[in-house]
């Protein structure tokens, strides 16, 4: 009859195929908007032009790019902080937020913070900006490096400072 069986050839994958496959985001979105409400009733509104959810080890990471906006609202709906940047990473399991490129943070107390890199640890109520910083309040205009801002106590420490501070004496 002339029939013969050919051995099936399995395609070969590169040796790092599994690692490459695991880097593909399990979730991607364009024109992303999200509203988070925590157990205390505070809200966080997030938006970005693109978002990808990744796994890094056992940690989930939300990678956001282009025109990121985050607005933190109190239980009464008052704006507590507003953040804008061009790139951000959110670690919801660890309650950490990293913002990069053209970062601008404003608070209800009229604090305005500009930097290129900002790291927020929600558990410690601490915002860190290791590089250059421009900080403006109603009474101060400061420039420096290495900011530590405690969000609960509304205090900050800034190294290599230069700028203008209004005298407390009337």
**Does the residue 50 lie in any domain?**
yes
Integer Cα distance of 136 and 147 in angstroms: 13
pLDDT at res. 69: 92
- Window from 89-93, 113-117, 157-161, 164-168 with minimum mean pLDDT: 164-168
Under DSSP, is residue 70 helix (H, G, I), strand (E, B) or coil? Answer: strand
Across the range 1-7, mean pLDDT stands at 54
Q: Is the pLDDT of residue 170 over 70?
A: no
- Give the pTM: 0.73
> In total, how many domains does the chain have?
1
**Does the residue 73 lie in any domain?**
yes
* pLDDT tier for residue 86 given thresholds of 50, 70 and 90: very high
Integer Cα distance of 17 and 40 in angstroms: 44
**Does the residue 68 lie in any domain?**
yes
Integer Cα distance of 11 and 118 in angstroms: 46
Across the range 84-107, mean pLDDT stands at 89
Residue 122 neighbours by CB under 8 Å, 6+ apart: 95, 96, 97
Beta bridge partners of 157: 148
**Does the residue 15 lie in any domain?**
no
pLDDT at res. 17: 66
135-141 CB contacts, 8 Å cutoff, 24+ apart: 135/111, 135/163, 136/111, 136/112, 137/109, 137/110, 137/111, 137/112, 138/110, 139/165, 139/166, 140/164, 140/165, 140/166
Q: Is the pLDDT of residue 32 over 70?
A: yes
* pLDDT tier for residue 11 given thresholds of 50, 70 and 90: low
Interval 100-148: pLDDT, tens: 999 999 988 888 999 999 998 877 888 899 999 998 888 888 888 888 8
| Edge-first strand listing for the sheet containing 140-150 | 27-37, 43-56, 59-73, 79-91, 96-107, 112-121, 126-137, 140-150, 155-165
Interval 52-74: pLDDT, tens: 888 777 888 888 999 999 888 88
pLDDT at res. 101: 93
**Does the residue 54 lie in any domain?**
yes
CATH number at residue 65: 2.60.450.10
**Does the residue 5 lie in any domain?**
no
Q: 84 is in which domain, residue-wise? A: 31-165
Q: Is the pLDDT of residue 88 over 90?
A: yes
């Amino acid at each position: 009859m002339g029939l013969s069986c050919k051995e099936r050839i399995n395609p070969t994958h590169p040796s790092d195929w599994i690692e490459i496959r695991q880097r593909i985001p399990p979730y991607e979105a364009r024109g992303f908007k999200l509203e988070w409400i925590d157990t205390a009733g505070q809200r966080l509104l997030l938006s970005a032009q693109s978002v990808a959810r990744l796994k890094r080890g056992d940690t989930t990471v939300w990678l956001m790019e282009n025109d990121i906006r985050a607005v933190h609202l109190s239980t009464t709906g008052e704006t507590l902080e507003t953040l804008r940047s061009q790139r951000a990473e959110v670690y919801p399991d660890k309650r950490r937020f990293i913002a990069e490129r053209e970062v601008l943070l404003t608070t209800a107390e009229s604090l305005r913070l500009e930097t290129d890199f900002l790291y927020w640890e929600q558990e410690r109520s601490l915002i860190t900006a290791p590089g250059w910083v421009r900080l403006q309040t109603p009474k101060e205009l400061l420039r420096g490096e290495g900011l530590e801002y405690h969000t609960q106590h509304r205090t900050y420490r800034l190294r290599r400072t230069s700028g203008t501070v209004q005298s407390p004496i009337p």
